[in-house]
Structure 1
Amino acid sequence: MYPIGRTYRQTMTTGEAPEIGTAIRRMRRWRGMTLDALAGLSGLSKGYLSRIENGRQAVERRSTLIKIANGLRCSVADLTGGFVPTDQSDSEVHAAIPDIQFALVTTSLDHTRSAPQRSLAELKAETARVADARQACEYTEVGRALPPLLTDLHATAVKGKGDDRHEALRCLVLACQVTTLLVRNLGNHLLAWNAAQRGCQAADKLGDPVWIAVAAFAYTQALISLGAYDEAHEHARQAFQNLRTDDDKSIQVYGTSILTAGFCAVTAESGQADDEIDEARALAARVEHPNAFWLGFSRANVDLWQISIALEADDPVLAAEVAERLAPEEIPLRSRRAAFHIDHARALAGLRRPDREVVDLLRRAEQLAPLRTRNNLFARSMVTEMVERSRRDSGGRELLGLAERMGLFRSV
């Protein structure tokens, strides 16, 4: 039992790394619930839940988290928690979160108390620089740049006139997209949702279906991180239904939207995504200048979505097949290459391939994007399972080093 007067969130903030099995066990005990009861409420077997709690089974699908969270009457975010920094660079990124939150809380699109400190041209260039930096996994730089950028863009959007105001709103949609994706990867899911909402408000003021769909992408990503897959599916569908595919940029927004909708349908176990993948692949073949609006849409990106969707459909065979025919050098964005290695590792883990192959892929991801990899739910879950298994078998230096950098030793 936990001390009287402590809330569940206070119990979770002990400094221990938020390993998923530990979080599930704590929440279950805090609820006064037995494993048998959770099994009945979640539709998962007692043995499977026990293995997850004890680090002997990786969480392989988002739908599994939803079932457990529903059984425990909590949110997915309550179980995934936030990342405990393990080195100086990680700490610097997390130190930016209060400033980002303050920038959003103290601004609005209706009024401003301060004038922008930079010209519109400078703000436009800074928005592009920060968006590029996020895709290059330069998270510390992104964290430092976002608070003043968000503040200045809000002020310009309020005080600007005509085209200047519209340009500031467009930049704000993109800055909010960067904010959403950054803080989501840091485990701050509600702040991601708040940032995405602000981006949607800016897009609504523009009234352009393309920009509304761009903002909707960030909003669906925030909803996905909160486990609200049905709501994310609906927003993605609304986004592409209002789009045309008669120019290069619109094609990329449309393709990203239908892939998001397909992913959410599969994750929510409410549909398939074969048609969406086929349509997106045909659209990608028409793209001349990929990565419009920093969405990363391209032929290779469709393969990445197919891998993620196959994993959520519990089809590691298909995920591995697609991953093994996709050369990493075909993926130009550093952030997407890191995500590819993590998903490839998930596929191999699902096929029960040797741990050294899984660890090798996770190390490649970590070299590209240390913070993103160490904070990734599935990467942490796989490492926890492998460490537990290595304790029963022989272990490995690379694996134990990865676990240490993830701060997982105390929780496994």
Structure 2
Amino acid sequence: MADGQDQGRPLGEVIRRARVLQQRSQADVAASLGYHQSKLSRLENGHGTEDTRVLRAVAAELAVPLHHLGLAPPTTPPTADHEAEDMRRRTFLAGSAASLAAPSAPPAQHHRELVRALLPGLPSAPSDHVPSLPQLSARVSTARRLFCTCDYAELGRILPPLIDDLRQAARAADSAPAGTVTGLLATAYQTLTGLLLKLGDGGSAWMAVGRAMAEGERSGDPVVLASSVRVQAHALARGKHSSHAIALVRHTADQMTGAYDRRSPRYLAALGLMLLRGVTAASGAGDRAATQEFLGEASEVARHVALDRPDAWANFSPTNVQLHAVSAAVALGDTGVALETAQPLMGRRIPVPERRSALWVEAARAYSQQGRLADGYRAVRIAESCAAQDIRRPAVRELVADMAARDRRRALPELHHFSRQLGVPA
């Protein structure tokens, strides 16, 4: 199923771009075709594109040339005028994509330092003061807290020197047990992977994944390795390799599940978060069976552990499982289910800002899919109040841009003002 989706994603993107260029909502186009909005949402995500009858109907409605959807070969060679028009269109689309992808935090110099921290190089000269293991552990905990509180600018500043010090400590002959230091280094690389994915830098994130996996294996700690598997599955799913992410999570979970009443909170949190990454990958691929499988197992793990604080080693709890159920429902096009699941969470105290923001962003996606742009806008602004830097990442900026583009009559001037503030005017 995922392989078919991978092939369908380019077609889905053609449909989405044509719709956005015409400033039409999913609900509007779907209604004109006699479909439910969720069907068009799934098409734009690469699902169901093998149905040529549906593709032809969409092509006719959006005036998409059939050969752009693989339904016919180009009928005439391009003329100079056509080439000029194509160039203008490609320039417009490239400019739009670039504006959506540009991260606002951390600053560019810190981003360069993040990438530099991943590159191989000669060992640095021994420092006069090598940080102790407790000091390094405290700094890693600080990095995790900054990620959970969405302070990406400060996180981007402290991660490179932290990774340098951890590398030096791992090389030092008189350091603490190598497994302990490499475990901390793996955790730093895991955090860096998450930050780079938030910023839309998938290429650098893959380098960080490789580093995290290597250090996780060196540590000999199954918990650290499971956490590295989690970020690898995240990168795979983000790179549209959902079937591989699902298989990776399932294989690793098979080796860790069971005897939950005898496991440490740290072990259970690592396993639970990995299962939730499986939920994200499976729902993104439209695999309902795998989504429910991972959600069910994560719920069972959550009966035995609740780490729900920004300063915790990992943030896993029953609340986190419910948040992923909301996200999965949105990805599957079940917006009514998503909002119904989200409703009790909206009045609950969620201590981790990144999780609070995620709840309202997913609610905004659900409202947007239903055509409730005013509710979607309000949800995004609540997410901003939870974690201002988090809503400036590319994925949320694209959501705001899409909502603004669909408000053709400008009934929500505040939405257009906000999209301009984010640098993505309709």
The normalised TM-score by structure 1 is 0.77
What 5-or-longer segments of structure 1 have no aligned partner? 1-38
Post-superposition shift, 1:234? 2.0
Aligned to 2:20: 52
Aligned to 2:166: 153
Aligned to 1:228: 241
Post-superposition shift, 1:394? 2.7
Taking the aligned partners of 1:45 and 1:155, their CA distance within structure 2 comes to: 45
Do the aligned residues in 1 keep the contact of 2:42 with 2:48 (CA within 8 Å)? no
The answer to which of 254-263 and 188-197 deviates more is 254-263
Taking the aligned partners of 1:130 and 1:361, their CA distance within structure 2 comes to: 28
1:253-311 residue CA offsets vs partner (Å, 9 max, x unmatched):
22222222233223223452223222222321221544697432101100111011111
Post-superposition shift, 1:46? 7.5
Q: Which residue identity is paired with 1:392?
A: R
Q: Provide the identity percentage.
A: 25
1:337 aligns with 2:356: yes
Do the aligned residues in 2 keep the contact of 1:290 with 1:296 (CA within 8 Å)? yes
Q: Which residue identity is paired with 2:314?
A: L
Taking the aligned partners of 1:62 and 1:166, their CA distance within structure 2 comes to: 45
Post-superposition shift, 1:349? 1.7
Q: Structure 1 residues 188 and 385, CA, compared in 2 at 3 Å: closer, same or farther?
A: closer
Aligned to 2:405: 388
1:114 aligns with 2:128: no
1:224-255 residue CA offsets vs partner (Å, 9 max, x unmatched):
22222122222212321221533222222222
Do the aligned residues in 2 keep the contact of 1:180 with 1:195 (CA within 8 Å)? yes
Aligned to 1:128: 141
Choose from 117, 125, 132 the match for 1:103. 117
1:143 aligns with 2:156: yes
1:348 aligns with 2:359: no
Taking the aligned partners of 1:114 and 1:62, their CA distance within structure 2 comes to: 54
RMSD (Å), alpha carbons: 3.4
- Equivalent residues in 2 for 1:158-237, closer than 5 Å: 158-160=171-173, 163-237=176-250
Aligned to 1:286: 304
Taking the aligned partners of 1:313 and 1:41, their CA distance within structure 2 comes to: 15
Taking the aligned partners of 1:50 and 1:340, their CA distance within structure 2 comes to: 29
Aligned to 2:376: 358
1:158-217 residue CA offsets vs partner (Å, 9 max, x unmatched):
224574322211111211121111111111111112112101100111223222101111
Do the aligned residues in 2 keep the contact of 1:300 with 1:330 (CA within 8 Å)? no
Aligned to 1:371: 389
Post-superposition shift, 1:337? 0.7
Do the aligned residues in 2 keep the contact of 1:184 with 1:192 (CA within 8 Å)? yes
Do the aligned residues in 1 keep the contact of 2:354 with 2:387 (CA within 8 Å)? yes
Choose from 264, 271, 281 the match for 1:254. 271
Aligned to 2:255: 242
Aligned to 1:8: none
1:313 aligns with 2:332: yes
The answer to which of 261-270 and 133-142 deviates more is 261-270
Aligned to 1:6: none
Do the aligned residues in 1 keep the contact of 2:360 with 2:380 (CA within 8 Å)? yes
Q: Structure 1 residues 400 and 160, CA, compared in 2 at 3 Å: closer, same or farther?
A: farther
Do the aligned residues in 2 keep the contact of 1:310 with 1:319 (CA within 8 Å)? yes
Post-superposition shift, 1:222? 1.8
Post-superposition shift, 1:395? 3.0
- Equivalent residues in 2 for 1:57-76, closer than 5 Å: 57=25, 64-65=44-45
Q: Structure 1 residues 51 and 120, CA, compared in 2 at 3 Å: closer, same or farther?
A: same
Taking the aligned partners of 1:123 and 1:40, their CA distance within structure 2 comes to: 46
Taking the aligned partners of 2:112 and 2:223, their CA distance within structure 1 comes to: 31
Taking the aligned partners of 1:156 and 1:46, their CA distance within structure 2 comes to: 50
1:324 aligns with 2:335: no
Aligned to 2:286: 269
Taking the aligned partners of 1:276 and 1:318, their CA distance within structure 2 comes to: 18
Q: Structure 1 residues 139 and 176, CA, compared in 2 at 3 Å: closer, same or farther?
A: same
SS in 2 for 1:145: helix
Do the aligned residues in 1 keep the contact of 2:236 with 2:242 (CA within 8 Å)? yes
Q: Which residue identity is paired with 2:18?
A: S
The normalised TM-score by structure 2 is 0.75
SS in 2 for 1:112: coil
Do the aligned residues in 2 keep the contact of 1:62 with 1:267 (CA within 8 Å)? no
Do the aligned residues in 2 keep the contact of 1:174 with 1:293 (CA within 8 Å)? no
Q: Structure 1 residues 99 and 41, CA, compared in 2 at 3 Å: closer, same or farther?
A: closer
1:301 aligns with 2:320: yes
Q: Structure 1 residues 44 and 189, CA, compared in 2 at 3 Å: closer, same or farther?
A: closer
Q: Which residue identity is paired with 1:97?
A: H
SS in 1 for 2:423: coil
Taking the aligned partners of 2:208 and 2:357, their CA distance within structure 1 comes to: 24
1:407 aligns with 2:418: no
Structure 1 or 2, whichever has the larger Rg, is 2
SS in 2 for 1:104: coil
Taking the aligned partners of 1:40 and 1:150, their CA distance within structure 2 comes to: 39
The answer to which of 291-300 and 148-157 deviates more is 291-300
Taking the aligned partners of 2:123 and 2:403, their CA distance within structure 1 comes to: 52
